[in-house]
Amino acid sequence: MLSLLAVALLAPSPPPLVVLRPDGVHVIDVHGRVIRTLSATPGDWAHRLPDGTLVVAQGAAGLLALPPQGKARPLGALPAVKGCGFAADAKGDHGLSLQSARDAQHSPDGRWLCVALQDRNDNMAEIRALYDVELATGKVHPSLAMAPGCPGGAMLSDRCTLVGPPAVTPPATPPPKVSWPFEWQGERGVLRGGDGPALDFCVGRPQEACDPPDTAAVSPSGRWRLLRLPTSQGDYMHHALFAVDHQTAALYPITEGAWPSPLTPTQRQQLLRDYAAVPSLDVVTETHIAATGHGERFAVDDLLVSPGERVRRVGRLVP
């Protein structure tokens, strides 16, 4: 069985941890300390290109390309879009913004950045503006995909694809997985070991009445899994976020500060009856949740989750 050290040595180097804060765009270490400032101007959102360049939206200042080496390069601003007698812009009365990391994608050849801004999330949006940015020239091509009185249009430009998480270049050699004593069987919501289920979210319920949690992210070694437990449904789909340890079958709430104790048997039973019974971090469908590649750590919007250590608020982490 591979050790965690072997996984760390064999895994490709992860991209740097970059955060958006009110005082600018920064590279941080795994403890949340600033290593380097990339820009003193705060960013609304950012997207990472295959070559490591960050494209940062900086409000009225427009888009800024920050390459791994060399000088920053201004790109075009995001202008107002018009159609059906309607106009909308990113900083106007309609408050258009990037709703999730999926709404910024690059084309397979890396020549285009495609962005979709909305007034609300997908469930409630009335306005959707599309921007195609030609990265070599900085030229921006705007269009109105959805607005009151206009027929619905594309979710994203056909220059890019909207499938799965933000487009990234996969490593040439995927990091190896470690074999752990407990295995997650997601369809039935069961964490199973050699002696049977260690945790069963559907215990005592027929399949049709079972609403098991879904996996939000898995650490590089496979030891840690973040689970979203559905808690409420309305304009936004809310979930409670918990961490499962595949080595011990322990279940942990996600709370800011020092890593908490695992749920007791009583708390686990309470949680199985009511997913909102045990306090934990509330997330919505649009929340950015991903393994960072820096050890076993996860990014959850502006939180850096280090299982077994700490949950730190570091600034909005760039996907």
Res 167: pLDDT: 44
Whether 209 maps to a domain, the answer reads yes
3-state secondary structure of 121: coil
Residue 81 CA to residue 58 CA, distance in Å, equals: 18
**Number of domains forming the structure of the chain:** 1
Map tokens 């941890």 to a residue: 17
What are the tens digits of pLDDT across the range 45-94? 999 998 899 999 998 889 999 998 889 999 988 887 776 666 665 554 45
- Check if the beta carbon of residue 162 is closer than 8 Å to that of residue 154: no
- Model's pTM, two decimal places? 0.85
CB count within 10 Å of CB 53 equals 20
Question: Where does residue 26 fall: left (phi above 0), alpha (psi -120 to 50 degrees), or beta otherwise?
Answer: beta
| pLDDT cut 70: percent of the chain above it | 83
Structure-token pair, residue 288: 């950015």
pLDDT at 311 over 80: yes
β-bridge partners, 18: 27
Q: Is residue 219 part of a domain?
A: yes
Q: Does 120 map to a domain?
A: no
| Residue 131 resides in a domain | no
Quick check: is 54 in a domain? Answer: no
- Domain membership of residue 280 as a residue range: 183-317
Look at residue 151 and tell me if it is in a domain: no
In a domain, 14, yes or no: no
Pick from 138, 148, 26: nearest CA to 87: 148
How does pLDDT run across 109-147, given as a tens digit for each residue?
A: 889 999 988 888 877 888 888 899 999 999 999 888 878
Q: Is residue 132 part of a domain?
A: no
